[in-house]
Amino acid sequence: MKSTLVATLVALAAKEVAGHALFQQLWVDGTDYAESCVRMPMGNSPITNVGSKDMVCNVGTKGVAGKCPVPAGGTVTVEMHQQPKDRSCGSEAIGGAHWGPVQVYLTKVADASTADGSTGWFKIFSDSWSKKSGGAVGDDDNWGTRDLNKCCGKMDVKIPSDIPSGDYLLRAEALALHTAGQANGAQFYVSCYQITVSGGGNASPALVKIPGIYSSADPGIKINIHAAVSSYIAPGPPVYGGGTNRTAGSACTGCAATCKVGTSPSAVATGGKKPASPTEATTGTVASADAQPAADSSPQPDTAGACAVSAFGQCGGNGYTGCTQCASGLTCKAVSPPYYSQCVATS
């Protein structure tokens, strides 16, 4: 029987600003495992240095005791939302026009609780790009992150049936390309989950190292999506033969179409602890070594009653109608003129 694993990553940002922080939960076969086998990120900024060790499982993340069981051939569902604890389908999953591919990797490890990710990885899933009829620029096209929005933040990912049984780190990656026209402008949002696969085979996928799979000059990383895009290939190696290449713009199916929050009891992953209740759950975030200090990414009123966009939030650009005032110490800067401006530290 196939199981379904839902790895929830809830990004903390308002609809008009960047979806930076990640809050994660995890379900297995309809049972809520919350964060008991999740390596919770500790900051709130994107990773922009593709050569950084932070690309493995994010900044400051550490192994946890829990490991969630998944059968080979089962389905993993990655879920992302921009508001803390808000998994409502009425809210945009990832805001701020953060269009780009969603990809998932696995690495076989001796012990998922202690592994550092230096072992070889292989890609098992990619939801990248497809041309949308009538779209004049890349922003109009179909993207993996746009599919997340359409499917209430969920993305179904099949675990190859022929991979060996044992412990793995599962690495989910969303790549935002809204400022990728400039050097080091692409924004990576990464998180790792500790799983134990059962009933597997003896396949030996080709492996790559992380960091090392990407270059900042890769055409799938340095690209201006605010101009017309005639083709796009997601960065990194091809998807392993037992994995899935999802066509961006496809209809929501499986768990992504039917799984509902609050319909299962809480559980405990092997060696883990009972998940916190919704009112007790803590929020984890994403960071990079050279990023700005963590901050609430939602627009906040200042003493004069005006809005204020935090670091990396959108504050301008063609067609933008949201808040244009940056929080104290930040300046609204055109990073992909005239299409996109965001708040950055005042120099």
Q: What is the DSSP string of 229-248?
A: -S----SSSPPPTTSEEEPT
Evaluate whether residue 287 is within a structural domain. Answer: no
Evaluate whether residue 341 is within a structural domain. Answer: yes
- Across residues 223-230, what is the average pLDDT? 97
Distance between CA 323 and CA 317 in Å, rounded? 11
**Could you identify the residue written with the tokens 């109009």?**
140
Instruction: Please count the structural domains in the chain.
Output: 2
160 and 49 share one domain: yes
186 and 330 share one domain: no
Query: Of 56-60, 80-84, 103-107, 275-279, which has the strongest mean pLDDT?
Result: 103-107
224 and 344 share one domain: no
The range of the structural domain enclosing residue 330 comes to 299-347
Distance between CA 267 and CA 158 in Å, rounded? 22
252 and 324 share one domain: no
Residue 140: DSSP 8-state: G
192 and 305 share one domain: no
246 and 140 share one domain: yes
User: Sign (positive/negative) of CA torsion 6, 23, 94, 334?
Assistant: negative
Count CB-CB contacts under 10 A for residue 39. 25
Distance between CA 86 and CA 261 in Å, rounded? 10
189 bridge partner residues: 174
251 and 304 share one domain: no
4-10 vs 23-28, strand pairing mode: antiparallel
With 60 as the cut, is the pLDDT of residue 242 above it?
yes
- Average model confidence (pLDDT) across the chain: 80
With 50 as the cut, is the pLDDT of residue 343 above it?
yes
320-325's contacts with Cβ under 8 Å and 24+ in sequence apart are: 320/16, 321/16, 322/14, 322/15, 322/16, 322/17, 323/16, 323/17, 323/299
Token pair for 341? 């401006």
Name the pTM for this structure: 0.79
56 and 108 share one domain: yes
Evaluate whether residue 275 is within a structural domain. Answer: no
Dump pLDDT digits (tens) for 253-302: 988 888 887 777 778 888 886 655 443 332 232 222 222 333 333 343 33
Evaluate whether residue 82 is within a structural domain. Answer: yes
CATH number, residue 170: 2.70.50.70
With 60 as the cut, is the pLDDT of residue 183 above it?
yes
| pLDDT at site 231 | 97
Give the rounded percent of residues in the chain with a pLDDT score beyond 70. 79
Distance between CA 114 and CA 110 in Å, rounded? 8
pLDDT band per the 50, 70, 90 thresholds, residue 103: very high
With 50 as the cut, is the pLDDT of residue 215 above it?
yes
171 and 69 share one domain: yes
Which position has the higher pLDDT, 327 or 204?
204
Strand (E) or helix (H) holding 31: strand 31-32
Distance between CA 315 and CA 14 in Å, rounded? 12
b/e sequence 204-242, b meaning 16+ C-beta within 10 Å:
ebeebebeebbeeebebbbbbbbeebeebebbbeebbeb
| pLDDT at site 10 | 34
- Across residues 51-71, what is the average pLDDT? 93
**Which of 227, 258, 289 corresponds to the end of one domain?**
258
| pLDDT at site 9 | 35
123 and 15 share one domain: yes
| pLDDT at site 83 | 64
Evaluate whether residue 346 is within a structural domain. Answer: yes
63 and 13 share one domain: yes
Min mean pLDDT across 4-13, 39-48, 118-127, 231-240 is at 4-13
